[in-house]
Amino acid sequence: MKIFFIFVFIIILYQCIHLTRSAELKEKSVKLSYLELVKERRSINEKKLAPFNDIVGMASSNVIAYSNGNDTYYSNEDNYLYGIYMGLKWQCVEYARRWTFLRKSSTFESIPGANDMWNQLKYVERIIDAEKFPLKKHSNGCPNRPINESYLIYPIQKDMPYGHVAVIVDVLPNSIRIAEQNFNFNYWSYNYSREIPVTFKNDLYFIQDQYEVYGWIEIDDNQQLMPFDPLTVDKIQMKLNENLDLNSSA
Ligand SMILES: *[C@@H]1O[C@H](CO)[C@@H](O)[C@H](O)[C@H]1NC(C)=O
Ligand SMILES: *[C@@H]1O[C@H](CO)[C@@H](O)[C@H](O)[C@H]1NC(C)=O
Ligand SMILES: *[C@@H]1O[C@H](CO)[C@@H](O)[C@H](O)[C@H]1NC(C)=O
């Protein structure tokens, strides 16, 4: 009799354990399939190519990135903002210059290709007073950490006949986040286009992109450059008009 009860007890115990385990497994598999779904959605989103002119993302609050369609397309269309030249729609240099205009109220001179920014660009110029602010180069593999809000420059290499430029929009402990045009043609999942690992080896910082990187160019402005304020344009315009009125009445 005693043995019979022990036997029944063991069976009940076994079933209890079995039930909770299968419930746990079920919960786990529901969780897993949800994660897979999210992952799948994201990868579909990442794989979906944006046609030329489509907005692919936005970084630094208000700097929109547009799709160039594919990396062989050359639109031959200029882009201007408030009458100021930004570059060719929708090349990487256009993004870097428009970012500089919207975030730093400045611009930089015309250059043949993105790779030339590394050797040719010496300053950015503030729109309102033409004051020049120096650019400082930091080679990939240097003793200081990559700097936020600087230009990331790539030399000419396979698949990059003009090199490439991106803007560093965030610096994390072991990576940087960048914004750019004409590199990928998918819609961004976040407010940056790519996150690239940064390693620290023999006291040097290396941006570990799949492509060779020259380094990053810092805008050395002592935090004097402010985001572009559309009201400034009105002020300049008003001043011009006042002068015209004075001249014509004199
Ligand atoms: C991106 O969004 C996060 C969270 O909203 C914010 O903390 C970060 O500053 C943003 N970065 C850029 C470059 O816009
Ligand atoms: C690249 O994009 C342009 C503009 O959308 C399109 O006309 C062209 O056919 C595309 N080329 C390739 C190789 O996909
Ligand atoms: C980088 O600069 C952006 C503004 O352009 C700011 O939102 C972000 O917090 C900065 N990141 C760091 C690490 O300072």
Residue 101 has phi, psi (to 5 degrees) of -70, -50
Name the CATH topology of 51-249: endopeptidase fold (from Nostoc punctiforme) (3.90.1720)
What letter represents residue 138's amino acid?
H
∠ CA 185-190-196, nearest 5°, is 75
- pLDDT surpasses 50 at 33: yes
Mean pLDDT on 168-195: 97
Quick: pLDDT tens for 113-150: 999 999 999 999 999 999 999 999 999 999 999 999 99
Identify the CA nearest to 66 among candidates 98, 100, 113. Answer: 98
| pLDDT attached to residue 231 | 82
Q: Is the CB of 69 under 6 A from ligand 2?
A: yes
Domain map (residue ranges) of the chain: 1-47, 51-249
Rounded to the nearest integer, the mean pLDDT of the chain is 86
Q: What is the pLDDT of residue 8?
A: 54
Higher pLDDT, 178 or 8: 178
Q: How far is the CA of 80 from the centre of ligand 3 (A)?
A: 26
Give the closest ligand to the alpha carbon of residue 60.
Answer: 1
pLDDT, position 20: 53
Please check the confidence at residue 225 and state whether its pLDDT lies above 60. yes
In this structure, which ligand is nearest to the CA of 175?
Answer: 3
In three-state form (DSSP H/G/I as H, E/B as E, the rest C), the secondary structure along the chain is CHHHHHHHHHHHHHHHHHHHHHHHHHHHHHHHHHHHHHHHHHHHHHHCECCCCCEEEEECCCEEEECCCCCCCCCCCEEEECCEEEEECCCHHHHHHHHHHHHHCEECCCCCCHHHHHHHCCEEEECCCCCEEEEEEEECCECCCCCCCCEEEECCECCEECEEEEEEEEEECCEEEEECCCCCCECCCCCCCEEEEEEEECCEEEECCCCCCCEEEEECCCCCCCCCCHHHHHHHHHHHHHHHHHHHHC
Pocket test for ligand 2, best of 49, 52, 88 (most atoms within 8 A of CB): 52
Output the CA 172–ligand 3 centroid distance in Å: 10
Q: What confidence tier does 209 reach under pLDDT thresholds 50, 70, 90?
A: very high
183 within 8 A of 193, measured Cβ to Cβ: yes
Any atom of ligand 2 within 6 Å of the Cβ of 72: yes
* Top-confidence residue, 190 or 14: 190
Q: pLDDT digits over 232-241, tens only?
A: 777 666 665 6
Give the number of the atom of ligand 3 that is nearest the alpha carbon of residue 171: 13
Centre of ligand 1 to C-alpha 170, Å, is: 8
Q: What percent of the chain has pLDDT over 90?
A: 70
pLDDT reported for residue 133: 98
Calculate how far, in angstroms, residue 190's C-alpha sits from the geometric centre of ligand 1.
9
The pLDDT tens digits for 94-122 are 999 999 999 999 999 999 999 999 999 99
Question: Is 180 touching ligand 3 by the criterion CB < 6 Å?
Answer: no
Q: Whose CA is nearest to atom 9 of ligand 2?
A: 73
Confidence at residue 16, expressed as pLDDT on a 0 to 100 scale: 47
Q: What is the pLDDT of residue 232?
A: 77
Written as one string, the DSSP assignment of 1-31 is: -HHHHHHHHHHHHHHHHHHHHHHHHHHHHHH
